[in-house]
Structure formats: C-alpha cells, structure tokens
Structure 1
Amino acid sequence: MLDFLLEPLSFGFIRNSMIMIILLGVLCSVTGSFLIVQRMGFLGEVIAHAVLPGLAIAFYVGIDIFLGAFISGMLSSLIIAWIQSQSRVKVDVAMSLVFSGFFALGILLITLLKSRIDLHSFLFGDILGVTGSDLWRTFLITISVLIFVKLFYPHLLFYTFNPLGAQAIGLPVQLINLGLVSAITLTIIASMQAVGVVLVVSLLVGPSITAYLLVKELHQMMILGAILGGISGVLGIYISYYLNAPSGAAIVLVVTIMFILAFLFSPKEGVLTRPQFFTKPNKLIRHLVRVKK
C-alpha cells in the first residue's frame, strides 16, 4: 500500500502537479463559493471561454499570454454588466451572448493571426506539464486572492447576500464587484493550466457546491471546499497515473462523484437521508391500496 502511494511521488512532474492542484483547490473554493451563493456559476464558464481572444492577441504581439487572458476575461465581465444595466436583457442571456461571441472571436483571431496556440492544451489542460514558474504564479495568485478576501470579507459577505442593502448603506458595490470578478478571472487563468477551459468550471464550482450541501456558513463552505478540492485533485492524479488516463478528466470525475455522494447522503440536504424519502412512498402505497379497495 505504501509503495502504491509513494511510487507516483518519485517523479518530479507528479509532485509539481499535486502542489498545483492543492493550490487550485484552495483558490477555486474561495472564489467559487461567491459564485454559487450569488447564483452566478455560469459566469465562470463565460470568463473561461472569453479569455481566448486575449490569448490570441497577446501571443501575436509577443506579451505575456496570461496578461492578455486577464484583460479579455475582465472585458467580458464588464460588457455583461454594461448590457444588464443599460437594457432589459437578463444577465443569463447577456452571459450566453458574450460567451459565444468572445469564443468565436478567439477562434477567428487564431486563424487570421496564424497563431500557434495549442488549442488542445487550452481546452483540456495539462497539469502534468506544469513548471516551477507556473507553481509560483499560481501561488502568488492564491495568496493575493486570500488576502483580498480576508481584508474585505465583511463587505464581500454583505454584498454577496444583499447587494441592494450594501449599496443603500454606502458600500462601494462597483469596486467590490470588480474585485470579485478580478479574483474569479485570475482563478480561471490559473486553472486553465490544470484542466483547460472545458473542465475549469467543474473545478471552480464542484468542490464548493459539494461543501454547500454539507455546511451552512460561507467561510465553512470555503474551507471544506478547499479540502475537498485538494483531495479530489490528488485522487484524480493517482487515477490518471495508474490508469494512464487524462489527468484533467480524472480530477473532474472525482469532483463529480464527491458531489453525487453529498447530494445523496448529506446529513441534512441529502436526497436519501430526508425523512420524506421514506415516508412519501409509503403514503402513496397506502393511498393506492385504499383507492383499489
């Protein structure tokens, strides 16, 4: 059993990938919790695909592609907010439009600029290929987001659950929203290296939504989500190593299984642990028997 656990760790790239996924577990849990509570989970998917034009332009110009991705992701969020504030269009419709428009623009720019961006890596990630610089970048992003949340947690908490009330008492809701969107964008950029944009939302939302079914407080949700995200990532890497399977897909599959288990067996929220699950079928059977008689 010990050899089973230690064998993958003898490889440096496996150790790097595990450190990376633990950092991402913390980072995604913190930012994903705010998305879930605000019922804005789809925003993560939008930003994840909206970074493609920024990647293409940054690669063509010769600047850091992560800077281009950040600018593009932030721009997509600002456009969504602008459409919502200046028209009767609902936020989910605006997100859908920006999602498809930015992704199509990115594909077009890659073709026109003859960019050599590895779309397969962009879409599906390559956590086993992370380098020391990738680890440091993710570490700095994680620390920055944690400091931001720690410093402004009371304001973020109030804004998350009651944005109108936060505006009424004079909190800078626009700056708070901008800070949250920046944190989410940085999280997605860091996560792209691990699982790619296709699966990034699962890592961003999955551990947090699982924790949401198990605890009540937002800070507890962040902590438990970080633990579940780290465990899911490590288990996924072990699975990918021994089954020779794609790491990103294995990680997301473990995240999904954890959510299903919480969905079914959560002490207070689980489908199979609710008293009604057992009483309602019995009532229905007794009712049918009486009708038959």
Structure 2
Amino acid sequence: MMDLIQWFVAPLQHEFMVKAILVSALVGLVCSALSCYMTLKGWALMGDAVSHAVMPGVVIAYVLNIPLAVGAFVFGVGSVMAIGFIKAKTRVKEDTVIGLVFTGFFAFGLVLISKVRSSIDLTHILFGNVLGISDADIIQTVIISVVTIVTLAILRKDLVLFCFDSTHARSIGLNITFLYYVLLSLLSLTAVAGLQTVGIILVVAMLVTPGATAYLLSDNFDHMTLIAIATGVFSSVMGTYISYYIDASTGGCIVVLQTLMFVLAMIFAPKHGLLVRARNSGAMNEPR
C-alpha cells in the first residue's frame, strides 16, 4: 500500500510534473466533453482535418506574438470554408476534399516552421511538450477550457439536436449554420489546448476516443458525457504518470491508454460489446 502511495506522490515533488498532471487533466476534460459531440455528429475525419489545419495558424500567431488560439481559429475556420468551397465547385467527394485540404494546410505549416527563424521546436508542435509547459501556456489552456465548457453548457440542447439530426434542428427553427461554426470554433480552440499535451498529430485521438468509448457504454447522452470525461481525465493523468516512470512520450502514453480503454469497452460493453453480441448471436442460433 505504501509503495502505491509513493508511486503517486513521488512525481508531485517536481513542479513541472504537478503542472503537467493538472494541464493534462484539464485538456482531457475539455477534449472528452467535445468528443461526445464529435462522435454523435460523425466528425472524426473533420476533427483530424481541423487539428492538422491549425498548424500554420499556430506558427504565424507565434511569430506575430499573438495568442495561438487566434491563429488556430482563423485557419480552422478557413480550412472548413475551403472544404465547403471545393466540395461545392467540383465533383470530388467530401472525404477526398478533407484529405486534400488538411494535408495542404499541414504541409504549409511545416514549410513555415522550416523557414521562420524562431525558437519553435517542430517536435513540440507535432508531439506536445506538456512537461515543459510555460505559465503563459497554462493560462491560455485554462481560458480555452473555460470558454469551451461554458459554451457547451449553454448551447447543450441545441448542439445535441444539431449533431443528432440537423434536418430536424432546422425544421424547428434552429440556426444550424451558427451551430456548425460554434462547434467548429470550439474544435479549433480545443486543438490548441491539446497541442500542448499530445501535439497536433495525436490531438485528434483525444477529440474522438473518449466519446467513442462512452458511446459503446451508454445510450444516454448525459451519461455518455460523464463517462467520456471520466475516461479522458483518467487516461490523461495516468498517461502522464506512466510517461514519467518509463521515460516515454507523454502524449503517446495518454493516447495508448485511451485506445486500450476503447478496446476494453468494445469487448466488455454491457449492451454493445463483442462478448454480449456473440452471446446473443449464439442464443438466437440455438435450436428450439
């Protein structure tokens, strides 16, 4: 028992670990809350696109010494507008357009990083650097998290209806264009928060996996949200601890842990798990 307590307490003797654990938990919370809407809307690929497309915005904002969230927001919205324009003007399918746009924006970000002389570390942007997070980045993450959570709370019913059935949402008078861009804006901002923890490449996992895990475990959206937040915060905190002890990538440990939790849910979920489905299938095939 004492060894277990010591396992949890030892990293807290370092200030950088205390900051890393708190920020990881906060990012895990906000990403998980948003991931439920992403899962319900079927926006996994869109989340991947926006999280990569914000990269040039982050670099430009860094160079201009303005909040990274501003640059991310501009390029996040710009990427979706580009997707909509190309989809409307060509015969190319949406998934192909999304792939073209986000890789183009991401490549543009890589070019900017390679040409701009600054202290930007490509590795930190791609894979995160929560162990070296600054006080300014912590403040930014807190602000983004508060804005996201408050917005989701205020517009919860409208956003749930929009994600579940946008046609019905329009028929009862909801402004689905407004809700579309609200969700997109939150996605862009949350990508910046996740950038500090797991980096641009893996942030899509934090925006999709907790919601997907919860979706297997509950049919009620409120319960789904609580489960997603619990799994997101737990995996973020435990992933940070594990990375400390095995000296591995913090973002990688967090995402691997989230993936393992999804696999467990996929197998053992009480209503939608593989074991239950196999048992029910076997019962139906039994001779009567």
TM-score by length of 1: 0.90
Within 2, Cα distance between the matches of 1:83 and 1:32? 26
Cα 1:220–1:86 shift into 2, 3 Å: farther
Q: Which of 113, 133, 137 lines up with 1:134 in the alignment? A: 137
Secondary structure of 1:63's partner? coil
In percent, how many aligned pairs have the same letter?
35
2:98 maps to amino acid: M
Measure, in 1, the Cα distance between the counterparts of 2:63 and 2:10. 41
Counterpart for residue 159 of structure 2: 156
Contact 2:209 2:259 in 1 (8 A): yes
224, 227, 241: which one aligns with 2:227: 224
C-alpha distance in structure 2 between counterparts of 1:253 and 1:200, whole Å: 12
Trace 1:75-94 onto structure 2 (pairs within 5 A): 75-94=78-97
Deviations 1:196-233 (A, max 9, x none): 01111111111111111101122221111111111101
Q: Which amino acid aligns with 1:76?
A: S
- Within a 5 Å distance, the mapping from 1:194-209 to structure 2 comes to 194-209=197-212
CA deviation string 1:179-212 (max 9, x = no partner): 0001111111100000001111111111111111
Contact 1:56/1:115, CA 8 A, preserved across alignment? no
- Give the conservation status (yes or no) of the 8 Å contact 2:69–2:189: no
Partners of 1:271 and 1:277 within 8 A in 2? no
Q: CA deviation at 1:115?
A: 5.1
Which residue does the alignment assign to 2:21? Answer: 18
Tell me the number of residue pairs that the alignment of Structure 1 and Structure 2 aligns.
284
1:53 corresponds, among 56, 62, 74, to 56
Question: Which of the pair has more CA radius of gyration?
Answer: 1
CA distance in 1: counterparts of 2:239 and 2:116, whole angstroms: 36
Pair 1:65–1:128, CA change in 2 (3 A): same
| 2:18 counterpart letter in structure 1 | R
The aligned counterpart of 1:237 is 240
> SS in structure 1 opposite 2:198?
helix
The answer on whether the counterparts of 1:125 and 1:248 sit within 8 Å (CA) in structure 2 is yes
Q: Where does 1:1-293 land on structure 2 (aligned, <5 Å)?
A: 1-114=4-117, 116-276=119-279, 279=282
Larger CA deviation: 4-13 vs 55-64: 55-64
Contact 2:170-2:176 within 8 A present in 1 as well: yes
Contact map agreement 2:113 2:122 (CA 8 A) in 1: no
> How far off its partner does 1:132 sit?
2.7
Structure 1 Cα separation of the partners of residues 28 and 268 of structure 2: 23
CA distance in 2, matches of 1:273, 1:166: 34
Residue range with higher mean Cα deviation, 115-124 or 3-12? 115-124
CA-atom RMSD in angstroms: 2.1
Normalised by the length of structure 2, the TM-score is 0.91
Q: CA deviation at 1:136?
A: 2.3
Instruction: Quote how far apart the aligned CAs of 1:277 are.
Output: 6.7
Pick which of 40-49 and 86-95 moved more.
86-95
**Aligned equivalents of 1:18, 1:29: Cα separation in 2:** 16
**C-alpha separation in 2, matches of 1:136 and 1:63:** 14
- Compared with structure 1, are the counterparts of its residues 111 and 22 closer, same or farther at alpha carbon in structure 2 (3 Å cutoff)? closer
Q: After TM superposition, give the deviation of residue 152 of structure 1 in Å.
A: 1.4
- Taking a change above 3 Å as real, the CA distance of residues 276 and 84 of structure 1, as seen in their structure-2 partners, is farther
The more displaced of 119-128 and 105-114 is 105-114
Deviation string, structure 1 residues 144-172 (Cα, Å, up to 9, x no partner): 11211121112112111111122222211
Query: Are the aligned partners of 1:235 and 1:251 in contact in 2 as well (CA < 8 Å)?
Result: yes
Deviates more, 1:135-144 or 1:57-66: 57-66
Q: Please, which moves more after superposition, 87-96 or 220-229?
A: 87-96
Quick one: which amino acid aligns to residue 3 of structure 1? Q
- 1:80 Cα offset (Å): 1.8
